Amino acid sequence: MTSILTNNGAMVALQTLKSVNSNLEETQNQISTGKEVGMAKDNSAVWAISKSMESDIQAYEAVSDALDFGEATVAVASSGMEQIVETLKEMRELAVAGKSQNVDHAKIEADLVERRATIESIIDSASFNGANLLDDAVTTQLDVLGGLDPANDTITITALDTASNLDTSSMTGLTISNADTVLSEIETMITFSIDSAATLGAASNRLSDQESFVSKLTDSLKSGVSTMTDTNMEEASARLKALQTQQQLAVQSLTIANQAPSTLQQLFR
């Protein structure tokens, strides 16, 4: 039955066109933004999970910055301690030479004084943003956050007691009689310095390894969020073409349905 008051065909065609237009708008938005799930209404469960993961990503990026900062602090201390080892080796050579009678002990003593001053300068200068791991009187320890759980993921580097172990103030007035004592003290300091440099090197490696792990973990989380929320551009492109075709057909169907009542005019001629 054909009615001039109700056009069932036009209503069906109109609903189809509205559905196609809605899907087309959604697909165009996904392509333009690159996000298949950009708002909670798109997929509430996936959106909630992705936002939680994005929060973790931001936290891990902050952890990575803290690890870089800690590694730089340890690197400064490690470089300083390695230089102290080299300076002490030079002092040992001077002390060995001081055991001979036919040397100028005054000049050797003057060289020792300069190297003692060098060691003190290195200790005072091995500071990074106020933290000095070569002087426990300045910095007791350095706590670096290596994960999201401060209670279990904190990496602690203890500062060195150089004031006690590298005290060269007693090594004055080098003579043949005290050369052996001075040499023994220097040997003890070298042992302490080598052990300390090795400890700092191990701490630096640990921070570096942890930073590498956090970086890979962050990349994995980013990849996971991308998989859940980003638009598959190949699929979206194919869907867009199909919806555009459907839109054209729906418009034609609506046009045909709207023309149907006009045929009634022929019955009244």
Residue 191 has pLDDT above 90, yes or no: yes
Residue 263 has pLDDT above 70, yes or no: yes
pTM check: above 0.95: no
pLDDT digits (tens, 9 = 90+) for 104-163: 888 998 999 999 999 999 999 999 999 999 999 999 999 999 999 988 999 999 999 999
Query: Contact at 8 Å (CB) between 133 and 70?
Result: no
List of residues 6+ apart from 61 with CB closer than 8 A: 218
Q: Is 170 domain-assigned? A: yes
Mean pLDDT of 242-249: 94
Together in a domain, 100 and 203: yes
The residue among 111, 71, 65 whose CA lies nearest residue 91 is: 111
Residue 169 has pLDDT above 90, yes or no: no
Together in a domain, 183 and 249: no
- Please state, in angstroms and rounded to a whole number, the distance separating the CA atoms of residues 119 and 109: 15
Q: Is 39 domain-assigned? A: no
Burial of 150 (0-12, 13-18, 19+ CB in 10 A): exposed
Together in a domain, 167 and 118: yes
Q: pLDDT at position 266, please?
A: 73
Confidence class of residue 256 from pLDDT cuts 50, 70 and 90? confident
Together in a domain, 13 and 90: no
Q: pLDDT at position 165, please?
A: 94
User: How many Cβ atoms sit within 10 Å of the Cβ of residue 234?
Assistant: 8
Q: Is 160 domain-assigned? A: yes
Confidence class of residue 258 from pLDDT cuts 50, 70 and 90? confident
What is the count of structural domains for the chain? 2
Q: pLDDT at position 89, please?
A: 96
Cα dihedral sign, 256-259-264-269: negative
Residue 209 has pLDDT above 70, yes or no: yes
Q: pLDDT at position 1, please?
A: 67
Per the structure, the complete domain to which residue 173 belongs is given by 44-229
Structure tokens at 268: 């009244």
Together in a domain, 225 and 243: no
128 DSSP β-pair partners: 131
The residue among 182, 205, 163, 33 whose CA lies nearest residue 94 is: 182
Q: What is the mean pLDDT of the chain?
A: 92
Together in a domain, 250 and 224: no
